[in-house]
Each structure stands twice: as C-alpha cells, then as structure tokens.
Amino acid sequence: MTIEKIINLVLSLVLGGMLIYGGIGKFSKENPSPNQVVAKAQKFQQPEKTETLQKILYINGMKQTGYMWQFLGAMQILCGVLLISQVFTLLGAIMAFPIVVNIFFFHLFLEFDETSELLQTLGLLLINVWFLIVVIRKMKAVLFQPEQLQFLNK
C-alpha cells in the first residue's frame, strides 16, 4: 500500500466519520416550536448580540421548515458512508463539498470567535479539497475532452 493510499484512507475515515457524527446530531434533538424560537430570538435583540441572533435564526429557520435540517443530516450521513466505504469515496467527496463549504462559512462568518470549531471545519474543508484534487487527476480524461472541440476548427 502506497503512502498516498494510506493518507487517502485515513482522511476519508476522518471526513466520513465527522459527517456521519454531524448528520446523526441533526436527528438527536426535538425541533423547537415557532413560539420557542421567537422567545429565544427576542432575548438577543441588542445590537451587540446581532451575531448570536443571526445564528439562532439561521439554524432554527432550517429546523422550522420541517424537512431542511433532517435533509441536511441525511445527506451528511450518506456522504459520510460513501466516504468511509472506500468504494465510493470520490462520489462522497463530490457530494459532500457543498455541505462542507456551507459548514465552514457558517463558522467563519457567524462563529468566528469559536477558534477550535473554525479550525476543525477548515480541516474538513481542506480534506474535502484534497479529495477533489484526487478526483480531478483521476477523472481528467472524462472532465476535459479538447478533442470534442475539433468541430470549431473546421
């Protein structure tokens, strides 16, 4: 087993495990009622608590739809299982990328003061980018076909 394969194995287990853990967490708590969300949001109306209010409204907005929070959790679990499977790792990395970017941006813009979580999500994003670089190398023949543009030269 080459060093690159060992690195890919470890990274896929880390990224897949974190996605599964986060996805399961989406189903572990009962969604708050709209009245509870409003009551919680009203506690953070002061200008210095704007970031906390934004976090509350963002997360609870997804929960209040009745499907978005659960859909996000299900997709995290699916992507995590694909990454861990070692058969569909590349598919899992492609599917997980928009989710991981969104999680990273949430922590970057709404929880910048939580340094450990920001670094953790940055690590997950870098792992995901690593897999996308591997995908591009392996799929270059499928993704980039300049010979298909020959009709333009005629």
Please give the Cα distance from 17 to 120 (Å, whole number).
13
pLDDT digits (tens, 9 = 90+) for 55-108: 777 777 787 877 888 999 999 999 999 999 989 998 999 999 999 999 999 889
The type of residue at 68 is M
The type of residue at 69 is W
2, 69 in Cβ contact below 8 A? no
pTM (two decimals)? 0.79
The type of residue at 123 is G
17, 96 in Cβ contact below 8 A? no
118, 111 in Cβ contact below 8 A? yes
pLDDT digits (tens, 9 = 90+) for 18-42: 999 999 998 887 777 777 777 777 7
Please give the Cα distance from 85 to 88 (Å, whole number).
6
Per-residue model confidence (pLDDT) at position 40: 74
